[in-house]
Each structure stands twice: as C-alpha cells, then as structure tokens.
C-alpha cells in the first residue's frame, strides 16, 4: 500500500482471500464528521441536517469491485461513550481480520482533542491486544 492511496482506495481494495463484506467503524466525539464520512462511504449525499447524538448508528453501502462482485460495507458510527471496547465486541465478533477503524476529532476545543484521541486509540489498542495472539501471525 502506498502513502498516496486515499481512504476509499484502501476500503475498496480486495484480495481473493477476503470476503465480500467489510466492517468500517467510525469512532469520535459529537460534531466530528462521523455521519458525513458514513454517508459518503455508503454512496449517498451528505445531509445538512444535524443528527441527534447516538452511542451507535448503522448504515451500509455497496461498492463495485473489479471482479464485478459488489462488496458490502457495514458502517458503524460510535459516538462518545465510556466503554468503546464493549461496543466493538458486539460489532466485530469473529470478523476481526475484516474491519477498519476511522477515528474522527472535533477541533472546536483543540486543548481537549489530543486527550480524547489518545483515549480512543488506547481503547482500540487494548481491544486488539486481547486478540493479537489468537488471530494475528507475527
């Protein structure tokens, strides 16, 4: 993967070993662009209407691949919550090899942004570390 690939290219890249479904998890605080990203990935046009805050929201999209098979994206938005790992457990289950996490940030309060992103990344690292020996080959 080159550094010049955009996120859409990364998501739509398919190897012959992968299934036709992929999970995309967008994590972030309110007003950080989660819904806009989810809407764009699902192939719809973003709305200017504000969504009420949810802890979790789901949408999906279909992406055509070079083989002609449509890949399905299951897109989950996770809002601000105390235990992101509990929500990840309910989403990812046995498809750990087949998901992508996007972390968003609201830059309206720059002094708090680093701490919030840092907590989210620590939660993700903790979550993945419990599966590391079981699913990943080193």
Domain ranges of the chain: 19-135
pLDDT value of residue 6: 63
pTM score, whole prediction: 0.71
Q: Looking at the domain 19-135, which fold is it?
A: Rossmann fold (3.40.50)
Q: What are the 10-residue block averages of pLDDT along the chain, 138 residues in total?
A: 57 52 85 88 80 79 78 84 73 68 87 86 81 53
pLDDT value of residue 98: 74
- How many Cα atoms sit within 13 Å of 95 on the Cβ side? 17
Q: Burial-class residue 1 by CB neighbours within 10 Å (0-12, 13-18, 19+).
A: exposed
pLDDT value of residue 1: 46
């Amino acid at each position: 993967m080159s550094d010049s690939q955009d996120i859409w290219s990364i998501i739509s890249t398919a190897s012959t070993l992968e299934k036709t479904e992929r999970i995309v998890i967008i994590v972030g605080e309110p007003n950080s662009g989660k819904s806009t990203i989810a809407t764009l990935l699902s192939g719809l046009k973003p709305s200017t209407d504000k969504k009420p805050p949810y802890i979790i929201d789901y949408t999906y999209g279909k992406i055509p691949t070079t083989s002609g098979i449509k890949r399905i994206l299951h897109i989950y938005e996770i809002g601000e919550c105390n235990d992101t790992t509990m929500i990840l457990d309910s989403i990812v289950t046995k498809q750990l090899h087949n998901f992508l996490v996007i972390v968003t940030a609201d830059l309206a309060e720059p002094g708090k942004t680093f701490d919030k992103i840092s907590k989210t990344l620590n939660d993700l690292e903790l979550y993945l570390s419990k599966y590391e020996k079981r699913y990943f080959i080193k």
